[in-house]
Amino acid sequence: MAVLTGVGVIIVNPQGQILLGKRCSSHAPFWSIPGGYLEAGETFEQCAQREVAEETGLEIAPPCFIGISNNLQTWQSEGKHTVSICMLVHHSGGKAELKEPEKCAEWRWCSPDELPEPHFEASKTAIYLWRNQLTYLPLLAVP
């Protein structure tokens, strides 16, 4: 089985809130930052911009790399091994659209101090890395 590469994007508004979506597809009932799978020939920045636009309708500047997450909990529970490239971008905020309602039930700006649960492993790890100024956490679980 191949290991898939995902890209997750922490979008921070001027109030310090981050954009989170309530997943309703195969990742239900988890909350997560926007993101998706890297396509062949795509840069991490291009993937991040494409996925955010496809999911939320928001146009973002090229985000910066902040870390990487080896999603072993997801592999243990779902049998699907992914590695996530964690990206960060500041944005003016605004209302995110439900561009893919079959995948996401709602988008919400949330305080990073009060993450809704249950929270998707890759998203929770990305937020933890960002908040703790780390690039990698060699543990199975984020505290």
- Look at residue 80 and tell me whether its pLDDT is greater than 60: yes
Terminal-residue alpha carbon distance, the chain: 29
Q: Does pTM top 0.85 for this prediction? A: yes
Question: Virtual CA dihedral for 122, 32, 45, 74, nearest 10 degrees?
Answer: 30
pLDDT at residue 55 in the model: 96
Between residues 114 and 79, the one the model is more confident about: 114
Question: Average pLDDT in the 59-74 region?
Answer: 93
CATH of domain 4-131: 3.90.79.10
CA–CA separation, 94 and 116 (whole Å): 20
